[in-house]
Amino acid sequence: MQVNLQVNLQIVWLIIAILLVVAILYISTYLVHGVKETNSRYMLSLFIVAIIAILAIPALTRLSSLIGLSQIGPYIVFVSLLYTVKYLLKPTNTSSLGWKKAIWISFIAIVFIYLLNMITSMLFGVEVIPQF
């Protein structure tokens, strides 16, 4: 019973983290690209990028630390998020994100995630998105 409760709590925290990253990516894209309207394709791309950011990017940083390259972890996070934003995030049907916009969206998103982790760590002693 105790293990089942822990698994359910971890799933809830994972869903909360994904939703927070979706909100952060939406705000970052709005600040850089200026897209106010959302459609189902844009929301799906936000969720896909958020899931990759929460699950795959931390796995890459852990893999780099296992092979002795733990110092390049933040660079791997940024470059991985940059490529997922560039190729998977589609704010509108007709436009594709250029490299400059993808760099700024990724940078703003990472800064917001770090700030969110720092604020929640100082106030509550818990990092909301501990993978970053």
Q: How many domains does the chain have?
A: 1
For residues 53-82, average pLDDT: 84
Amino acid 1: pLDDT: 58
Q: Is residue 129 part of a domain?
A: no
The reported pLDDT for the residue numbered 23 is 93
- Within a domain: 29: yes
In a domain, 81, yes or no: yes
88 domain residue, yes or no: yes
| Boundaries of domain holding 60 | 2-124
pLDDT at 105 over 90: yes
What is the distance between the alpha carbons of residues 126 and 105, in angstroms, rounded to a whole number?
Answer: 26
Mean predicted confidence (pLDDT) in 52-78: 84
The pTM of the full predicted model, rounded to 2 decimals, is: 0.86
Determine, yes or no, domain membership for 130: no
- Residues 7 and 15: their CA atoms lie apart, in Å, by 12
